[in-house]
Amino acid sequence: MEIIKLDFAQLIRDRDFEGIKALTISKLPLIIAVVIIIAVGFFISNLIGKIVVKGLKLKGVDSSVHGFVKTIVTFILKLFFILTALATLGIDVNSFIAALAAGGLTAGFGLQHSISQFASGLQILINHPFRSGDYIDIGSVSGTVREIKIMYTVLTTLDNRRVIVPNSHITESNIINFTAEGNRRIDLQYSVSYSDDIDKAKSAVIAAAGRCDKIFESPAPAVYVSEHGSSSINLVAMIWCNSKNYWEVFYFMQEQVKREFDKAGITIPFSQIDIHIDNNQPSENGEADS
């Protein structure tokens, strides 16, 4: 198809309405072709956008990113078809593309921080280091993940504080996900007196664990001597439970072990400091104190 440049602008400036009408009629097939390009192009863009969303769902990408990615994909494709249609009309689009590229480059320098946040958000949503509902620690803050956005992630702490963390901070930190594995081991430390029976103390801890139906029977709870402290024998109890029950089990054991120790006569010693006074130190006059 031969491309004939249109000069609507000149005709409009001259207010030559007859010329505008004649030019429009002469170029009607070209205009119809442009309309078809745009209509078909928009249809294809929307179709590809839906296909992309289906692909994201199959990959398990968080649903909060689906709409955003679809918008970006369809926008780029529609822009391509619009530029193609303008080029078909004989309009020079190279200057427009150059201006768009220059504007994008300038905006990129000014929005480096936001672009970093955006890229980090995509990385989190695609790689899934955590999901909504997981309890995570990222060094400076820990809490339950409530929302994962493109620019930031919302956490709720144990005392119900809402913390908004920039995604770039998360991807630059070590992420500890406490709930990703489903089950979790709790290591609990208990101190008993040197004069107490170790086996009796270990049995008391096992008895306390047996009172909680949220503690797994397999792997079975186990208690070991972890340290000979300065004023106590330190025991470590290793018990397993579902990750969502961690804190309930933790506080249950803290109370029940104390009750079992009391029943068994096990002593939880206080920290002690022995002070020895040497009465043979010389006094100020050089003579030893009597």
Written as tens digits, the pLDDT of the chain (290 aa) is: 333 444 555 555 666 666 666 666 766 777 788 888 889 989 999 999 889 888 878 877 666 667 767 888 888 888 888 888 877 766 666 766 776 666 665 655 555 666 677 777 777 877 778 888 888 998 888 899 988 877 888 999 988 999 999 888 888 888 899 888 889 999 999 999 999 999 999 999 999 999 999 999 999 999 999 999 888 899 999 999 998 899 899 999 999 999 999 999 998 887 666 666 766 665 555 555 54
- Domain 183-264, architecture per CATH: 2-Layer Sandwich (3.30)
Domain spans, the chain: 8-110, 129-177, 183-264
In this prediction, residue 169 carries a pLDDT of 85
Buried b (16+ CB within 10 A) or exposed e, 24-55: eeebeebeeebeebbeebeeebeeebeebbee
Residues β-bridged to residue 142:
137
Instruction: Provide the CATH number for the domain formed by 129-177 in this structure.
Output: 2.30.30.60
State which fold the 8-110 domain adopts.
Helix Hairpins (1.10.287)
In three-state secondary structure terms, 198 is helix
Specify the length of the chain in residues: 290
The CA–CA distances, whole Å, from 137 to 142, 156, 157, 178 equal 4, 11, 10, 8
d(Cα 92, Cα 36) in Å, to the nearest integer? 20
In this prediction, residue 202 carries a pLDDT of 94
Q: Please report the DSSP string for 266-289 in residue order.
A: ---PPP-------TTSB-TTSPBP
Residues β-bridged to residue 191:
234
d(Cα 224, Cα 234) in Å, to the nearest integer? 9
| Residue 238 CB coordination number (10 Å) | 15
In this prediction, residue 140 carries a pLDDT of 81
Query: Is residue 130 a contact partner of residue 137, using CB atoms and an 8 Å limit?
Result: no
This prediction's pTM: 0.54
Using alpha carbons, select from 232, 230, 227, 249 the residue that is nearest to residue 240. 249
Task: Read off the tokens for 257.
Answer: 């072990």
